Amino acid sequence: MTKTRIAIIGSGNIGTDLMIKVMRLSQVLEMGAFVGIDPESDGLKRAARMGVPITAEGIDGLVKMPEFSDIEIVFDATSAGAHKRHNDVLQGHGKRVIDLTPAATGPYVIPPVNGLEHLDAPNVNMVTCGGQATIPIVHAVDRVAKVQYGEIVASIASKSAGPGTRANIDEFTETTSQAIVDVGGAARGKAIIILNPAEPPLIMRDTVYCLCEDADQAEIVSSIEEMVAEVRTYVPGYRLKQAVQFEHVGSNRPLRIPEMGGEFTGLKVSVFLEVEGAAHYLPAYAGNLDIMTSAALRTGEKIALRMHEGAAA
């Protein structure tokens, strides 16, 4: 089959990792252009060595490239602040956009939860690395027992967080919190990110807390394990770190959480995850790169297949 040409804007950690995944793994997508703003960035230099057309002039440089007319999908791996203009320019040229920033211009997409629902949208948002790791678990609990409150804590190695990630911390918490509700199904959500400066760098760890209605604990565990297996089909380093934990919260000692606006009684579910990266760009501790770019790659491939199915019809 003829591959769909794509461009990636953003020559930092996320964009570079995604480029390598496209070139090594995809049978559907191929690189058409790699875009940055720093001609000395490692990502642009690596792309040039790999034979990918590059520009260090950002979105304006991309539009001027002769390869631009053949590009059908553009991945934006820059910042939430820059994404609005990028999207406006790209939509004006009829390009499909996959947003790896927390800008949340388009609908949220978490592949194992709603990966087929927005394939025709002009812009889709991949939430955040923490969201990709944890929202599937919130959804897995919610499909058994209604989640009244979902809280996630994503801990990533400081070395894996480039300038774009650091500039997006506020947007990370806001976007992830909203996606816990909109995609995960929780009535309320909260997200926390930790940049861990430990040396040697620690692997990505994620903790998910769900306060939900009482339900069969074995059914909840089964749902979570099925979801973990689904995520592992595209992120092999994704795994439960220990057994799912439960705590019954009775009316004699209810929880009082400000975000819930009242007292909670029911079941507390605690899930501890680890995400080992595939080390396509940064070492294996950077699972945050791997889960984000793997989710974007899977989404891009499904969008490309849908686009060409429609054209064939």
Phi, psi at 220, each rounded to 5°: -65, -45
Please choose, from the candidates 96, 87, 77, 110, the residue with its C-alpha nearest in 3D space to the C-alpha of residue 11: 77
Whether residue 167 sits in one domain with residue 153: yes
For residue 308, what pLDDT is reported? 86
Whether residue 77 sits in one domain with residue 103: yes
Structural tokens at position 279: 């080390």
Whether residue 161 sits in one domain with residue 234: yes
For residue 262, what pLDDT is reported? 84
Whether residue 240 sits in one domain with residue 308: no
> So which residues are the catalytic ones?
129
Whether residue 232 sits in one domain with residue 107: no
Whether residue 198 sits in one domain with residue 149: yes
Q: Which residues contact 16 (CB under 8 A, 6 or more apart)?
A: 42, 43, 46, 47, 281
pTM above 0.85, yes or no: yes
Q: Which residues contact 155 (CB under 8 A, 6 or more apart)?
A: 193, 194, 196, 202, 204, 205, 206, 207
Whether residue 275 sits in one domain with residue 134: yes
Whether residue 171 sits in one domain with residue 304: no
Return the CATH number at 53.
Answer: 3.40.50.720
For residue 189, what pLDDT is reported? 97
Whether residue 303 sits in one domain with residue 279: no
Whether residue 10 sits in one domain with residue 141: no
Cα(111)–Cα(297) distance, integer angstroms: 10
Q: What is the pLDDT along the chain (313 residues), one digit of tens a residue?
A: 799 999 999 999 999 999 999 999 999 999 999 999 999 999 999 999 999 999 999 999 999 999 999 999 999 999 999 999 999 999 999 999 999 999 999 999 999 999 999 999 999 999 999 999 999 999 999 999 999 999 999 999 999 998 888 988 999 999 999 999 999 999 999 999 999 999 999 999 999 999 999 999 999 999 999 999 999 999 999 999 999 999 999 999 999 988 888 899 999 999 999 999 999 999 999 999 999 999 999 999 999 999 988 665 4
Whether residue 103 sits in one domain with residue 12: yes
Return the CATH number at 260.
Answer: 3.30.360.10
Domain range for 216 is 129-284
Whether residue 145 sits in one domain with residue 47: no
Structural tokens at position 191: 């997200």
